[in-house]
Each structure stands twice: as structure tokens, then as C-alpha cells.
């Protein structure tokens, strides 16, 4: 064996507590899977792996026997792009419910493909107006699809998928849901909520590693895509569905090792249960929010709109985000910037992944040192 030279990149620091909304701190049993022997993606064991991941991802979304899943290699945005560009027929039109950065992104994606789109826009701190959705659909039979974000990660607002699903179904239209930061830890059920296309990813509340994402829908909806001309080659859900469901083989080379890790993460998620994970996240979020409020921090959203995994927090006067970030990073905590126009006034804290109550306690202590009395951290570091 030729000796490897000195590494040209340095590894990340020893366990940082990740308070960004994915990639998250994972269970050691998920990471351990990366040490499996090398494998060919066209072998029987990978067919079985793909079957297992698709089945478990379907179940975590509440899908029954009529539902199935297509797993994709790529981040959550690839799966969103696959769902939106595959599901909307020629002559279809998308109504996007937009109250944040990721709502905006749904419109940007369809726009790139020239798919007609209109937006129902709300301020980033405003919940989606369901009566406005109802009126928009009643007024315009040309809208074939409604697209919305379940958990708007730019603010931490939880949007009402269940109520929207009821309205969309009543009007006989199809619903595409970006559940990328909610699936696994918020209440979501594709059957009950009448979600036509549910998009998720491995590395947020499902606590897997980044690189694979998925779309859950009814089997007959995937089958019906055969009638449509694809807009994309590799993100064509029908092509991917035929390969995975009928041939039990990936259409292209998938991130096999990450799929193994996702399979393990899904086992852990199913064993814990979505309701229990939701309660675990809610308790960490509560601890964090109480501690922040005690220290004089304010929040972007009122309590009733907040999810269980993102808190958007006001920056204190006189301390810029990058300074706060760097001080906390030196202490072993990674925080996340506010998005878009919020960036100069707010930062975000996610509590997804394998975090403990002790991590939050320690974060709050370090936050006091970094934000409220900067000299203490400076002299300690």
C-alpha cells in the first residue's frame, strides 16, 4: 500500500453540538454503518436495502399499502424538484402557498421549468390563510396542484397541512408537500392529510446522513405518470419508480453507503415512534426557549406558531451574528444564521438530531458567556 500523505483537509472538530437544521448529530449506530464493506449497487443486497428504505419511509409518512416511495440520491431539493416537475401535467398550473424562504423556493423551482405558477404570499410571520386558499381554488379551476411547506425552516413556523389537504381534496386538486424538515418529528399522515406527493430527506428529523431524499405517493399516482412526458431525465419520478418498484434496482448509482445509514436511521425512528420523537424535540425546544427568555432573548414567532425543532431568536444589540457564531463555535456549538431579510436581526437554533438536555444546558451557559459577557469566553479560549 502506498502511504497516504498528510491529509489536505482537516476533519471537523471533535463532537460539535449541531444547532443547525440538518445535517444533525446522529446516533453512533447510524454512523457505524459507513464502515460496511464496499458494495456493488446492482447486487441483491442493495435491492433488499432499497425495498427496506422505501417501505420504512412510506410508513414514517403514514402511508398504507396503496402508497409507496421513490428514494433519490441528492439533497431534499432534488426530491422536491422531482416531485414538482413530474407531477404537474402539461397545461397544469401550481398554486404555491408561500410564507417563507422555502415556500419561495417551491415557486422558483417550477419557474425554472417554465411550469405556470401563482403564489399566495404571506409575510414570514403570518400563518397561511386557509380561507384565501379556498377562495383561490374556487375561483380558478385551472390550478391543478397546490404546493406548500409543512415546516417553514426559515422561521420555524408549522403550516397547517391537514387543514390545507382537506380544502385541496374538496376542490379535487393535488397537494405537494415539502415535509423536508418535519417528517419524523411533526404530526404528518399522507392518508389522513390527503397529501398527493410528500417530500422528505434523510438528514433532518429522520436523523440520517445527508445525500438521500425521497418522495412518498400513491402507487397509482406513480403509475399514472406514464402518461406524461418527463421534463427531466434523472429526476423523472416515473423512470425512478419503474426501476425501484418493478425492477427492484436503482435507475442510476445511488449513494449506497448513505442509504444503509438511512435504513438504520429509519429503524431507530420507527422504534422511537414519531409521537415520541416529537415529544423529545418539544421538550428540548421548551428548555431552550425558557433559557433564552430568561436571558432576555426575544423570538420571531409567537408561541402558537412555533414548531418543535426551530427557534428564531433576536440578536442582542451590539453583537453581530458572525461574532456570536464564532465564539460559540470555539466552545463546540454550531448555530445558524437568519435567512434572507432576517439575517441582520435574527439567528436560528434547531434542536433536531441526537441532542440531550445536558447539551441544551451547556449551550445556554456558553451563550450567556458569549453573548452577555463576551470577555469571559475571550479569556477562557
Ligand X SMILES: *Cc1c(COP(=O)(O)O)cnc(C)c1O
Contacts of 182 (CB under 8 A, 6+ apart): 150, 151, 158, 188, 205, 307
Find the shortest distance in angstroms from Cβ 106 to ligand X.
8
Output 213 or 366, the one with its CB closest to ligand X.
Answer: 213
Output 22 or 250, the one with its CB closest to ligand X.
Answer: 22
Cα distances from 165 to residues 117, 169, 189, 211, 229, in angstroms, run 19, 6, 11, 29, 27
Nearest-angstrom CA–CA distance, 179 and 197: 10
Q: Is 139 left (phi over 0), alpha (psi -120 to 50) or beta?
A: alpha
Nearest-angstrom CA–CA distance, 316 and 339: 17
Output 62 or 76, the one with its CB closest to ligand X.
Answer: 76
Nearest-angstrom CA–CA distance, 7 and 91: 53
Find the shortest distance in angstroms from Cβ 194 to ligand X.
20
Report residue 244 as a C-alpha cell.
Answer: 425501484
Find the shortest distance in angstroms from Cβ 78 to ligand X.
7
Find the shortest distance in angstroms from Cβ 147 to ligand X.
11
Output 147 or 331, the one with its CB closest to ligand X.
Answer: 147
Find the shortest distance in angstroms from Cβ 144 to ligand X.
22
Question: Are 364 and 295 within 8 A, CB to CB?
Answer: yes
Report residue 37 as a C-alpha cell.
Answer: 464493506
Which residues are at the interface with ligand X (CB under 6 A)? 21, 75-77, 102, 149, 151, 153, 178, 180-181, 201
Output 68 or 201, the one with its CB closest to ligand X.
Answer: 201
What residue ranges in the chain does DSSP mark as E strands? 17-18, 67-73, 94-98, 117-121, 145-149, 151-152, 157-158, 174-178, 197-201, 212-218, 310-314, 333-334, 336-337, 346-350
Output 182 or 240, the one with its CB closest to ligand X.
Answer: 182
Find the shortest distance in angstroms from Cβ 139 to ligand X.
28
Output 25 or 201, the one with its CB closest to ligand X.
Answer: 201
Distance of CA 269 to the CA centre of its chain: 15
Find the shortest distance in angstroms from Cβ 226 to ligand X.
27
Question: Are 92 and 144 within 8 A, CB to CB?
Answer: yes
Helix (H, G, I), strand (E, B) or coil at 233: coil
Find the shortest distance in angstroms from Cβ 203 to ligand X.
7
Output 153 or 312, the one with its CB closest to ligand X.
Answer: 153
Amino acid at each position: 500500500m502506498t502511504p497516504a500523505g498528510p491529509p489536505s483537509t482537516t476533519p471537523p472538530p471533535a463532537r460539535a453540538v449541531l444547532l443547525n437544521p440538518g445535517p444533525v448529530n446522529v446516533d453512533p449506530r447510524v454512523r457505524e454503518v459507513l464502515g460496511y464493506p464496499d458494495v456493488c449497487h446492482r447486487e441483491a443486497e442493495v435491492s433488499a436495502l432499497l425495498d427496506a428504505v422505501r417501505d420504512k419511509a412510506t410508513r414514517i409518512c403514514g402511508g398504507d399499502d396503496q402508497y409507496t416511495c421513490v428514494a433519490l440520491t441528492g439533497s431534499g431539493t432534488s426530491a422536491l424538484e422531482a416531485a414538482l416537475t413530474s407531477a404537474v401535467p402539461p397545461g397544469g398550473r401550481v398554486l404555491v402557498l408561500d410564507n417563507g424562504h422555502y415556500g419561495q423556493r417551491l415557486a422558483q423551482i417550477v419557474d425554472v421549468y417554465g411550469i405556470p405558477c401563482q403564489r399566495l404570499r404571506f409575510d414570514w410571520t403570518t400563518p397561511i390563510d386557509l380561507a384565501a386558499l379556498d377562495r383561490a381554488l374556487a375561483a380558478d379551476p385551472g390550478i391543478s396542484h397546490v404546493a406548500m411547506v409543512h415546516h417553514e425552516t426559515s422561521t420555524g413556523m408549522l403550516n397547517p397541512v391537514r387543514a390545507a389537504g382537506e380544502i385541496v381534496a374538496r376542490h379535487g386538486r393535488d397537494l405537494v408537500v415539502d415535509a423536508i424538515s418535519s417528517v419524523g418529528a411533526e404530526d404528518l399522515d399522507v392518508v389522513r392529510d390527503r397529501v398527493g406527493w410528500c417530500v422528505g430527506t434523510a438528514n433532518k428529523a429522520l436523523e440520517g446522513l445527508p445525500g438521500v431524499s425521497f418522495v412518498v405517493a400513491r402507487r397509482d399516482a406513480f403509475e399514472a405518470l406514464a402518461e406524461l412526458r418527463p421534463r427531466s431525465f434523472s429526476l423523472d419520478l416515473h423512470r425512478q419508480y419503474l426501476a425501484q418498484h418493478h425492477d427492484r434496482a436503482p435507475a442510476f448509482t445511488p449513494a449506497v453507503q448513505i442509504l444503509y445509514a438511512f435504513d438504520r436511521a429509519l429503524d431507530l425512528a420507527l422504534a422511537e415512534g414519531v409521537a415520541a420523537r416529537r415529544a423529545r424535540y418539544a421538550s428540548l425546544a421548551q428548555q431552550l426557549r425558557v433559557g433564552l427568555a430568561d436571558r432576555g432573548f426575544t423570538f420571531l414567532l409567537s408561541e402558537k406558531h412555533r414548531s418543535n425543532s426551530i427557534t428564531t431568536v433576536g440578536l442582542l444589540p451590539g453583537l453581530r451574528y458572525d461574532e456570536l457564531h464564532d465564539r460559540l463555535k470555539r466552545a463546540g456549538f454550531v448555530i445558524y444564521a437568519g435567512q434572507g431579510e432576517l439575517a441582520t436581526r435574527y439567528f436560528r437554533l434547531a434542536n433536531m438530531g441526537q441532542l440531550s438536555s445536558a447539551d441544551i444546558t451547556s449551550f445556554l451557559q456558553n451563550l450567556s458567556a458569549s453573548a452577555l459577557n463576551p470577555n469571559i469566553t475571550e479569556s477562557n479560549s
